[in-house]
Amino acid sequence: MKNYTVALLALALLAGSCGQNDQTPCDATAVTTRAPQAETTALKQFLDSKGINATADERGFYYVVKSPGSGAKPTVCSNVTVNYVGKLTNGTTFDSGSGVSFGLNQLILGWQEGIPLVAPGGSITLYLPPSLAYGAQDQPGIPGNSILVFDIDLVRIN
């Protein structure tokens, strides 16, 4: 299995809604981007076809909290360390990482919205529609307009 962590991070930097550098401070305001209804419907159909009982978020993604963790939850401005596996809906793994640190504001919208649902030590599965992931653009190992599934363990807030 190839590891596309560098590509994921580079692409995530482009997808982030706010920059993290000396000139653009992070805005801790919650992300409010919503997926189009057609994407939400397709995602719900996928979950139903697989018998997955996930919680719907008003922004258009679904999630399953496997373990809530404990302590304070991260914000979009937090830097976090995670273990994760990213898969396509056919089960193909396109990326994974262990002990990887990111600024949440540098990542795809679905991670910015989903990871703050758990605290350190927590574990979550995110089911993301294309507009909250990589959209219509093909990425290494990810066809455009793909629904993505991420299993994420939040190791810590750095």
Name the residues annotated as catalytic: 84, 94-95, 108, 134, 150
The terminus-to-terminus CA distance of the chain in angstroms comes to 28
Tell me the backbone φ, ψ of residue 85, rounded to 5 degrees: -135, 130
**Phi, psi values for residue 65, rounded to 5°:** -85, 115
Taking alpha carbons only, the member of 124, 123, 143 closest to residue 133 is 143
User: Residue 85 to residues 32, 37, 75, 157: CA-CA distances in angstroms?
Assistant: 25, 26, 21, 19
- Give start and end residues of each alpha helix (H) in the chain: 5-15, 37-50, 109-114
Chain centroid, CA 118 distance in Å: 12
